[in-house]
Each structure stands twice: as C-alpha cells, then as structure tokens.
Chains A and B, each alone.
Chain A
Amino acid sequence: MQYHKPENFEDAVAIAAQAQGLTRFLAGGTDVLVQLRADIAVPDTLVDVKGIGGVKDITRESDGGWRIGIAVSGAEMTEHPDLGRDWPGVVEATDLIGSTQIQGRATMTGNLCNGSPAADAVPAMVAVGMSVSVTGPDGTRRVPVEEIPAGPGRTSLAKGEMISALHIPPRGAAGGDAYLRFIPRTEMDIAVVGCAVNLRLDGDTVAEARVALGAVAPTVLLVADAADALVGTTLDDKALDALAEAASAACKPIDDKRGTVKFRTHVAGVLARRAAKIAYDRARSTRT
C-alpha cells in the first residue's frame, strides 16, 4: 500500500490518475480505515487530502452562498458561527453521523463519495441544491450532488477525478431546511430511512420546495412529486398527507437486516411529514 499526502489538487489528481489497483482518498478516514481493517476494501494507493491548502475552510461567497472545504468535519460545521443559521438541516445531517469521536473526523465529501445509499448528509445536500467541484486531469467542473452517487459503493467520478470543493447556494429570505433519519437507537446506527426537506416561503405559503430521501433506493432520491405536494400550500394536513404519500410512493427499498420494504416505505412518509414541519417552522422564524 502506498500513502501520499499531496499539497495541492493538481498533484492529488495526478497521483490518483497514475495509481494502479484500488485507490482511496483519505478525508476523515471513518469509512476508509474501517473498511481496510475489516478487509472490505484494502487500497493499493491512499491519497490523504488533508495536506491540501484550504480544505479545512468554510467560506461565505460574495453571492451569500457557502464554499465548504473537502476535509471539514461535521463538528467544525456545527462550531461555525453562521453556517448553521443559514442551513441548519445540512449541518445537523452531517453532524449526527456516528458519535462524538466520529463527528470530529467525518466529512460531507467522504459521506457522499463512500456511496452508501444510507449516507446521512447526502439527502440534506441534495435537498438544499448543493453542487460539488470535480477536479480531474482535464480541469474542474461543477456537478449537482445528486449526480455523484451511481449505486451502492459507487460514484460517477472517473479515475483520477476527485471532489475539490462543496458549494451551498445562498439561503435567501424566508427559507428553512431540516433532516430527520430513523434509527432504532439514538446514535451509532445506520439510517433505515432518511429524509431532508428544504423550502422557501412567500408569506405563509410554500413557494419553493425540495424533498430528498435516503436509504430507500440504491441512490439518494430527489422526489419532485413530494415537493409539488408542498408548493402553494400552507402545510395544512392535506398537503402533509399528499407529501407523505408521494414520499412513500417514490421508495424502492430493499428488505434487509436494517429494515423491511414495508417499514421503510411507511416511515419515509412519516419522516417527510415531520421534516417538512420543522423546515416550515424554521422558514417562518427567519422570515423578515
């Protein structure tokens, strides 16, 4: 196994492009090191990204959006004075991963690129419309988050490509986001279902909405029907019923040791309803 710690993205992608066998980028390592120890994925090349300049930075862009470095941990996002005020759902989703120890290491980038259908940060990232910068030997492009996962354990990144930054759009006025997951315990568990809702209000009426589901399909789902059920409503019971129904209808889960098809499908609707209420309340409380 070869370990590299490049100081810039150019070197990092060059190493990855030339590497033979299995390559892994090492962000927090909470997936990579666990999989290595368990013989699930033993990389031939490890590219530690934490030596690259700026990867620990959280920066507000001139348009009011945010740029998150690829090695920023969930705990660092929580500690940031302003990020959580704009995007509480994204911060919560990232910083509920694992336990206190894990939260000091685990990154959104790693959560996304590990490719787990149950990754907690990913539905929140999708719901708020995040995108990522993908850097490869041929330069850098912007890709919406939902285009990165390609299936369990797989991403759409080509050999030699890596994520070099995460981008959150400007919050704008009267918006709120929220993420809820279902686990049978209180922590240290994998989401049986995850649901993120992001919306913006015009008065008391939902003007825009995005609803994303995790752990109910091979990749994260952006559920347009669920969002449509909210837009134009004041989140009355009818709207919530329609939301829950649309969320459940979108599920294509599996039966496994963590939950049944029936259970996941039902709980997706329950969580959508609850997350929508939280996002709605947050949007109302930030309305100026």
Chain B
Amino acid sequence: MALDSLKSEGFKQVGTRPDRPDGFDKVTGRAKFGADATAPGMLHAAIVRSPHAHARITRIDTSKAEALTGVKGVVTRADFATGLKGENWNILENVMAGDTALYDGHAVAAVAATSPLIARDAAKLIEVEYEILPHVTDVDEAMAEGAPVIREGAADKSVPPGLHPNVVRYHESGHGDVDKGFAEADLVIEDHFRTEATHQGYIEPHACLATLGGDGKGELWCCTQGHWNVQKICSALLGLETSQLRVTASEIGGGFGGKTTVFIEPVALALSRKTNKPVKLVMSRSEVFRATGPTSSTSMDVKIGMKKDGTITAAQGVFRLQGGAFPGAPCEFTAMCAFAPYALKNVHQVGYDVIANRPKQAAYRAPGSPMAAFAVESVIDELCGQLGLDPIETRLKNASKRGTKASFGPTFDQIGLVETLEAAKAHPHYSAPLKPGQGRGISCGFWFNHGGETAVSLALSEDGTAQLAVGTPDIGGSRASMALMAAEELGIPYENIRVTIADTATLGYNEVSHGSRVTYASGLATIEAARDAVKKLCARAAAKWGIPEDAVKWENGCAVPSGPNAGDFDPLPIDQITKRMGATGGPIVGHFEATPEGAGVSFATHIVDAEVDPETGKTSVVRYTVVQDAGKAIHPTYVEGQFQGGAAQGIGWALNEEYIYGEDGRLQNAVFLDYRIPVASDLPMIDTVIVEVPNPGHPYGVRGVGETSICPPLAAIANAVSAAAGVRLHELPMSPPRILTALEKQRDG
C-alpha cells in the first residue's frame, strides 16, 4: 500500500505513556462488560450440555422443563437455520449439536426463564437420551488405524489418500533438499515433542444480551473480539439479513483469540426470537473450559542438522495438531512459523489437522506458533549444547534478515530478529551468574501479524476536540494508542480525543481484533482518517484566507500558510475552524476504509532462568526477559504489557496448564482450581526490551506486538528447565510428576 508519508522521528505524543482512557471506568467499576447489560422484561438462559465425549442423541424431551413455572421457551437445533455449508455449518454444529454430541460439554438444548435459578433448574429437567459411541481425545490415537471416526467426509482436498478420516487438512511447504542438507551436517538431532491443549483463560466468561423479533430485526450486546464477525455468523445461523442485526461490543475481560468466534450468541438470539423477549446468557467458568476453544494439542517430530560452526544445514518438521471435533487446528501456521527465524537452504515442513472428541479449538495468541517454537528451539538448544556453541551466537549465525527467503515461501522485507538477538546478548540478564540448581534458556519466536478489513471515522466537535470511532474491540489498551496517533496528526492534546468502539451500524466492516492487527491496521486507518480531517481543515482555512488549498499546511493544531508566498496570515487554530464548521461547509469528518496489507512480521528473543527442585520436580521461573521488535512503540507501557502477558501465559502453558481427560473422555479439570493457570505469586517480575525496527507498511513503522510474545516462552522455559534439571524435557506441561519421571529415567539410564 502506498503511504502518504512515513514518519520516523519528531514525534510529540507517540511514544509517551499517558493513562489509558478506559482506566477510570475500569477501576471504578463503571465499565460495562458482557454480563453488565440488562433490558426490561429480560429472560435468563441456561444451556444443557452433553456429559458424554461422543454420543448419538436419540431423544430430547423438553416437556417437563416447559411445564416449570417461569420457563418461557426452549430451543434445540431445530430452531436454527438449515442448509448451511462450510465453516458456518461447523460453527452451528458446535453451538448446538445436531444428531450427535461430539465432546463433553457440547450444547444440546437451551432454555429461557424469568430468573437464572429457574433457567438452571429447567435445564436439569430437559431429558436427553444418548447412545454412547466410542471416543478418542488424543491426537496420535485419533490419526491411528482403527480410531473412531468423528465424522466421515470432514476432510478437504488437501489431505493425501490413505490417511485416517480424522485427518481433515494437510499442509506441506519448504524449499531445497533436506536429505542433501542433513548429509552435510556434523550433527543431526531428531526428536519427538508433545504439548497438551491449554485454554486462553480470559477472566471474563462469555456473556451476551440478545433481542430478536419475529420481524427479523435484532440487537445483540456481547463480549467479543469482533462484532462484525458476530453479526455475520449469527445472521447466517439464524437466517437473518446481516444488516438487520446490530451488534455492540461490550468492554472485554480478555480474549486472547478465544473471543474471535461465537458460542452463546446465536443461542440467546434463537431464544429471544422464540420468546419475543430480551434474553441474557452468561457462561459459567466450567462451561468456558468445556465448550469454548482451547488451543490445539500437538504431537511433533523435528529434525535439524548443524555444522560444528553452528550453521544449520537442513531442518524438517512434522506437526500434528488436534483441534477438537471440527476442522481448523492451525497446522499450517505451526508448520510455517516453525523455522521462520532461520535462513535455511534446505527446509521442509508438514502439518496435519486432526479432529477428535474435544471442544472446537479457537485461536489462542499466535495460533500454532508457540508449539512449533517449543519443538524447534529445543532441538537447536540440544545441538548447541552437544556442539559446545553459544545459543545466541548460533541463532545470530542463522538468523533471517531482510532478503532472506523465508521457510514458508516469501522473502522478508525489513525485519528485526538480529536486533532482538543482539539486544538479548547485550542484556545484563544473559551474562548474570546462575545459582546451583538453576538453568538458563533462550528461544526465538516468530509471528506473521495481520492487516485485515478496517474502517475508521474521526468527527471533529465544535470546540476543536475529536471523536474517533474504531471498529476493533480494545483488548490491550488500543484506545490509548489510537488517541495518541490521532493527537499526533491533529496536533491537539491526547485528552481531547474520545475513542469509541463503534457498533456494527456505525462503521463499515471491521475484521476481528486478532492477528495483532489493531494498532497496525486501526492505527493506520486512524492516522489516515486524521490526515483526511486535516486536509478538510486546511481547505476551510484556505477558503477563509482566499488562497489555494495546497497553500495551507497543518502545524501544531493550526492551519498555517505553507510558505512565504502563500500569504501572511496568523495561524488558525483548530477550534477557530470547527466553531464555524456549520457555516463553512458542514461537519468535518475524516474517514478511512481499506484492507491494509503491510503488517510487518515480528520476531522476539526471550531469556529465562528457571530453578528446579530435584526432589519434587517443582519449577520456579526466577528471572525472565522479553526482547521483541515492536516496529514503533506507540504507547510503550502497553507494548510492555503485551510482552509481559505473553510471557505470563507462556509460563502457565509450559509448566502447569493442561486439559486433562479421563478414560471416559470427560474433561477432569474444568475449574480454575485444577486448571492451573499461574497466579501472581508464581511469576517473576518480567523485564522487557522494546526493539524498534520500523515496519515499512505502517505510517509510523508499527508492527503488531500482541502475539509474538507468546511464541518463545514454551521453548525458552523448556530449555531453562532442561538445563536446570540436567535432562531434556519433551512434553508440556513440564509438571512436577513429569520432571521427576524424566529425572528418574535418566538415573536409571
């Protein structure tokens, strides 16, 4: 995309750290989250869920529930659209089971009643008869001969013949000749790795308030990362015209990718249509664990060849991802990210998307990439160890740079991997002495980042302040960054800008807040919308002064003549122009709509020190440093927050978080007590270093930062733990029993 102008220095506001505009509302409790909405005559809903991993639904009897006083309506699959195809069908099938319950927690019916307690009681009165079918939850077992088939015909054309029907998508990429490369190596290491599914673990459970009339017009309030997507999917699932459903996004208590799709919203709408009342639906934590998207579990094989001097001669990976009962596990991302940090002559990667009797996976921060890094960076660490090489020097030697042909195909533009490695090497953490029982781990990580459809509108008020409407829900302090960028362009104070997440009726389509795209794409659109408004402001000044429009420029919030030849006029401040907007041509609104495609890729290097108790297998992360390329940090505090958040979630994923299934295929730990997310006291202070290698695709050089930060932690922690324990760990989470078992195996030779 051609940019009007690239700005790389002289920032007045960008790069400062003002308080976030939503901060006051959040600390005072005034912010309205998903469950905070109410409506007159509102009903409350509850969902009936399958207790079985895989079962045919033979009968649903709702009569007892419907007879209960206070119950106003029940819906089953019969209350949704028919004839859907592709991903819409998958989503509907996940939102409300058809003939078969596909996992423990799969929704089979829902009820609306006058109180939450009555709804819960009524849900217990809905009788569902099941014929239990054989189930499978493990990725390797699901691909093996004889595994129960989740659904015939689910595979697409990418899958080569001869594979189990549970393999539904296949990816293969790379270049060069890996066999030749391995032959050139002084040392080749091949190893097997596994990771368990983890949940995004957002603190706010899904919640919505839906109103839908018999006239097909609806209103939906919900907690989501992308309300246009909700609008589109819900309209399809309920057979509505898209424009007739207006969706408003609430404040969001975390999403991390897990709120990029729908779970309860279509159900609430169906109940509202049936009862002709507003319907509120709020998930419990157990429902969130059992029925919303965790990430994929994986089984991976990685083989890398290295010369004695550290040059990687060839790399190869096979990545099998289990993504629940529907296609969509991001196997291609895992494969494509795996070797992206390295400039390789010979590289080959394969990905399998495998279905099993688990909830439909959803995106989780850089979907697929952290697991790949775990496997690849563990093997590199092992190679460095055996060849006596420094882990950072070795990575520097092989690092991708501008002009490198990436392992997944394209050629990299300006990127910052080398800079993150240099900064990590220079950081005092890297040379700090370790105590006995401690180990240090290093890892790089990569994420693509994304642009996506974006629309922004910036309306000036008569007093010279500005209302900025964006369509990307704020999941990481983005309103502060938007206000900074608009303030920078308009030359007015940060506080004079009010940023609103507009509803679907107010702006054109905005893609979900995902792919680390918000500060990049909505930011780019904000800058362009502000420049559009500035152009209009300059035109008003030109008209007032009677000089050509191009003889006026914008400086420090004022229109000024562009040079001595333009005439001698006093600067005209923004509020002097906006005060007379009505009489000088009407409202001044800047806007911008596009699908920006220059989201620069992003790399990070993490350094971790871990301490392992050899008697109990318990790991403490004692020091952690994140070094990441942000392109340009608009609001450094929130960039650092993203860095720290990725590390914190990575620590949980690496050490203790996991989906635990019983023999019966039921989820054993659907509560925070047993799904062991780290608590504050489990985390060290997480140090951050912001590297800024500008992204040529953004007016200020911004790269997305939200996802790359979770790519290195699994590997960096695994490398630290392996160094501390003196034994290589191949499976996540590295829970205490697993570490003790590894130590014992090593002792027994």
Contact = CB atoms under 8 A, between A and B. Distances in A.
A144 interface: no
Interface string A37-49: 0110000000000
Contacts of A263: 617, 736-737, 740
Contact of A258 (B655, B674, B682): B674
Interface stretch (A14-22, A130-138, A153-161, A179-187): A179-187
B669 to A, nearest CB: 5
A259 B656 CA distance: 12
Interface in A158-188: 182, 184-188
B735 interface: yes
Interface in A3-54: 38-39
B673 A189 contact: yes
> Which of B286, B615, B655 is the most central at the interface, judged by chain A CB atoms within 10 Å of its CB?
B615
A263 B674 CA distance: 17
B1 interface: no
A187 B679 contact: yes
A182 B739 CA distance: 15
A263 B618 CA distance: 12
A189 B655 CA distance: 15
B615 A270 contact: yes
A184 B681 contact: no
A266 interface: yes
Contacts of A39: 120
B204 to A, nearest CB: 18
Contacts of B676: 184-185, 189
Contacts of B69: none
Interface size class of A (residues with CB under 8 A): 20 to 34
- Taking chain B's interface residues, is the majority helix, strand, or loop, or is none over half, making it mixed? loop
A99 B660 CA distance: 25
- Taking chain A's interface residues, is the majority helix, strand, or loop, or is none over half, making it mixed? loop
B678 A259 contact: no
Given A185-B682, A257-B660, A260-B737, A267 B673 contact: no
A190 interface: yes
Nearest to B655: A184
B668 interface: yes
B735 A184 contact: yes
A38 B660 CA distance: 20
A185 B286 CA distance: 21
B624 to A, nearest CB: 16
A262 B740 CA distance: 10
B682 A259 contact: no
A31 to B, nearest CB: 12
A143 B662 CA distance: 39
Given A184-B735, A185-B676, A266 B668 contact: no
A270 B617 CA distance: 11
Interface string B34-69: 000000000000000000000000000000000000
A229 B617 CA distance: 26
A39 B616 CA distance: 35
Interface string A233-260: 0000000000000000000000011111
Interface in B633-677: 655-656, 660, 668-669, 671-674, 676
Nearest to B286: A38
Nearest to B620: A186
A263 B736 CA distance: 8
A188 B673 contact: yes
Contacts of A260: 737
Contacts of B735: 184
B688 to A, nearest CB: 23
21 contacts: A38-B286, A38-B671, A39-B120, A99-B679, A184-B655, A184-B676, A184-B735, A185-B678, A186-B679, A186-B681, A186-B682, A189-B673, A189-B676, A190-B673, A192-B736, A257-B669, A257-B674, A260-B737, A267-B615, A270-B615, A270-B616
Interface of A: 38-39, 99, 182, 184-190, 192, 256-260, 262-263, 266-267, 270
